[in-house]
Structure 1
């Protein structure tokens, strides 16, 4: 670490006035970048080189944390300039305004082309930044509100959807029928294992369902698969796409945080829209999930934000995140509240699989029916949830469940922990199996 200033003066400088702190952080970050640039890519480093790289990154991250602890709200105000910026936009603007705070666009593009094991871990710096933003009651709430706005893509597609009542978004199909927006996840190539493309399509579909006044209820179900093992059967979701994670295509801002702050948050708490009435700042509607075959990982996480969950009696639920090495989104918060701490630990820490016919499944499922009866159960639930008093009662139920502040505080910690998990040795080793010929299908 020759040429890098001793830590004490730098730590003091990043807590000084914003101009002094900005210059000090930029200076220290550039010195660490020079150290990393002189080394081979991460997976080709010797143990000594790897230790040197980790020491350098850890040191500048301590400075970034101290800088943000002192200035996060001022940074957020300057970066946003009164605008509502989504996650990726916020990080890009912060990189321009505060060089060295988060990776810039060029670094992210270069890293995106690499598999996970060859990345430098710059998303940890994004996690640190977004964690501190979300940790602020002021800036964190503003970011959450920005993420509840309709996406530009949804705005663009809304006139067509209102006119035709049907859209094929790619990995998701959307159809309006009898007052219900029927969202079908149709990634039959990967059993609806989610990647960034599907997260974008799902958020667009959820936005359209909430924006269209002709929709009273949302329904989410998996489509019919072509995978040899499940050919001709519907599958709800196989969770995160581990092949995409191995390939370096699962990002913090485009998937892991966007998913939680985007379409899952909108299903649970509604969408912020300028046309919303004065008495309802968010557009909320009841949601139904229908589970065929299984809901694994992110699929099970999704069920925790729905109002009514129907499952075929041969289906099962699981959250194998601890076995995969990652944190299962907000499930650690929600599953504990819904099913209790003991069952939550069995599912999340020990990988317990819950079959729909087990008694414990009734904590997570509202109806369990024969596979042939799922269609009829969905239509019956749609009819019941279209009743006029359902929407206001749903709104009041949500007030007593998970508060925005509780959600914000959880995500502040999640942003950091999940970013660290993305680059942990065990995760990189496990997802490496999905890059080998004949590896697992997910």
Structure 2
């Protein structure tokens, strides 16, 4: 009875915050950004909101305290962060400005650029970036966790993408997994096992992870970097380059999502892709809007709602990748494709990427999706069903002795 009463109070407070944000989010956003003269990233925006309007978003200390307890024991204070952002994205004026802010290079990326240009490589821990001629290689390097993504990887991966896009000597990027440290796959390259479900279950994954990942790392792969000038009514004016992907082993969950924003994908024979959204209990990034463009709506529904997997040798899998090759031929294929793409130059590649996107996913459509995503992902992240799914499909399977 006490727990039910607490949930009733939380729901009432959430309604009150959303009612206030629905009326004042635009004014608050304009105040924090000096009427759009400053670009403030989403993760900093919510903390600025907490300082300007106490109670509308949690403080840094409240969020940090939540990260010390398992997901099942959280109070859910982070929900008000994504609720506020949903209101920001629901307004075209503020939403598109925030998307632009999230596409700008991270401040420390420019600090790393000189060293990267000089040395041709940079180890960022969970991500590595290496220049090989015209190719900028970004490697997943979360080796103990099968190159999964979590709070430790999101900034290094975004930084690596920034460096590839900022380096004028690089003409195209590569996304690939490093060889992992795992008993079953020891020494094998693995593209990505998606979301780190252990970190999610144990409460180490902040709710804002989903937003910063898709607005930063993933959207920069898809749309490139924005600049100082902001023209809400003009065409996209981003610095972008084509991206190649090399899928070895598997591309699960978030790994599969990434294939939908890459320009050319090579896959190892026997590799597979899937989006286990039902088993994980979350919304798989922007894949619900993008996957059907590749494999059709019926198959996309089967993959997202009913756990259908896509081996790269299957008809649906072949729609997600361009080539399927023996593992021994992957390196040669990367060199071949890089050499061919480099000959056409970055300007035409960026122009054609923009032209292709305009009929598929306009910036305004992406903004509208993010308004929904902010709200529904929060509901999923703190749902009791997510805890049950993790216990049933992941935690019990990975206990010692099972």
Q: Which residue of 1 aligns with 2:60?
A: 105
Q: Residues 199-225 of structure 1: CA distance to partner in whole angstroms, max 9, x if unpaired?
A: 111100000000110110000101112
SS in 2 for 1:58: helix
Deviations 1:332-368 (A, max 9, x none): 0000222211010111001111111112222111111
Stretches (4+) displaced over 4 A: 432-438
Alignment of 1:21-420 (within 5 A): 48-81=1-34, 82-253=37-208, 255-274=209-228, 281-386=237-342, 387-388=344-345, 389-420=348-379
Is the 8 Å Cα contact of residues 279 and 390 (structure 2) preserved in structure 1?
no
Q: Output the CA distance in 1 between the equivalents of 2:154 and 2:64.
A: 20
- Give the TM-score normalised by the residue count of structure 1: 0.85
Q: 1:141 Cα shift?
A: 0.7
State the Cα distance separating 1:371 from its structure 2 match.
Answer: 1.5
Is residue 423 from structure 1 mapped to residue 382 from structure 2 by the alignment?
Answer: yes
Change over 3 Å in CA distance of 1:213–1:275 after alignment to 2: farther
| Structure 1 portions without partners, runs of 5+ | 1-47
How big is the alpha-carbon RMSD for the aligned residues of Structure 1 and Structure 2? 2.0
1:438 deviation in Å?
4.9
Size of the alignment, in residue pairs? 392
Q: Which runs of 5+ in 2 are unaligned?
A: none
Deviations 1:123-152 (A, max 9, x none): 211121111111110111111111011112
Give the secondary-structure state (helix, strand or coil) at the position aligned to 2:54: coil
In 2, the alpha carbon distance for the partners of 1:281 and 1:390 equals 13
Paired with 1:270 and 1:186, the residues of 2 have a C-alpha distance of 22
Q: Using the TM superposition, name which of 385-394 and 345-354 deviates more.
A: 385-394
Name the SS for the 1:189 alignment partner: helix
Q: Quick check: which has more Rg, 1 or 2?
A: 1
TM-score of the superposition, structure 2-length normalised?
A: 0.93
Task: Provide the secondary structure at the position in 2 that maps to 1:197.
Answer: coil
Structure 2 Cα separation of the partners of residues 205 and 364 of structure 1: 24
Shift of 1:99: 1.1
